[in-house]
Amino acid sequence: MKKIVLLIIVTILGACSTHSIVTDKPQTIKSITVTPTLIWNKVPSNLSIGGVPTWTADGISLNSLSFFSDIKDGKTLIKATKKEQFPIFKADMLPTELVELIESTLAKAYEAKVLSSGNLKPLKLGNDDGFEYTFDFVAGDELPRRGYIAGAVKNEKLHIIFYQAARLHYYDTRVGDVRDIIKTAAIKE
């Protein structure tokens, strides 16, 4: 199922579920707490990337904000069957390696191709040392997209906030709010 181009919704699975509102109050997603400043829509789980909690502003074919949390050493980023060889997270990975992990997972799951990458920088996620990273990619619908990631490894577990949107117009509409959200982020002890 993961092989279906998720980012452009060819999946018919979710056609009967609904979105709910995400207000500008503190939101807790597993071990991550964030407070958005703009209103988002919560995507039904069967429409989201790897079943991971995801928000959208204009529809997931245009933009999405996903939260990966509590990924343990030895696990893949998204659920994979035994046949699929997804890369696994190791607790001693450095940000450069975590970027490889994410790009490689996207490539394997959605035939995503990275078009350009850059700006890997240290970033504080709450009180924890983490990183941020921006890259351009395309998936099956061949619409150029931009991804922005903030992540950190805390107590040997990986937490990632992943924003992606159509590079033309839509990325800019919410990236400011995403950066603000990340400023408010905290990872549970």
Rg (CA), the chain: 15
Q: Name the site residues for another protein (rule: CB under 8 A).
A: 1, 3-5, 8-10, 12-21, 39-41, 44, 47, 56-59, 61-62, 85, 87, 90, 92, 94-97, 100, 103-104, 107-108, 111, 113, 115, 117-122, 131, 138, 140-144, 166-170
CB of 84 to another protein, least distance (A): 10
Q: Decide whether 20 or 28 has the Cβ nearer to another protein.
A: 20
Nearer Cβ to another protein, position 42 or 188?
Answer: 42
> For the residues of 137-181, what is the DSSP string, one character each?
EE-TT---EEEEEEEEEETTEEEEEEEEEETTTHHHHHHHHHHHH
If phi > 0 it is left, if psi is from -120 to 50 it is alpha, else beta; for residue 137 that is: beta
Q: Which residue in this structure is represented by tokens 């609904």? A: 18
| Least separation in angstroms between CB 101 and another protein | 10
Which of 97, 110, 174 minimizes the C-alpha distance to 137?
Answer: 110
Minimum gap (Å) between residue 45 Cβ and another protein: 13
Q: Which is nearer to another protein, 97 or 155 (CB)?
A: 97
Note whether 113 and 137 are within 8 A (CB).
Answer: yes
Among 134, 136, 175, CA closest to 151: 134
Cβ of residue 138: shortest distance to another protein, in angstroms? 4
Closer to another protein by Cβ: residue 35 or 104:
104
- Side chain identity at residue 55, one-letter code: W
The residue among 175 and 188 lying less far from another protein, judged by its C-beta, is 175
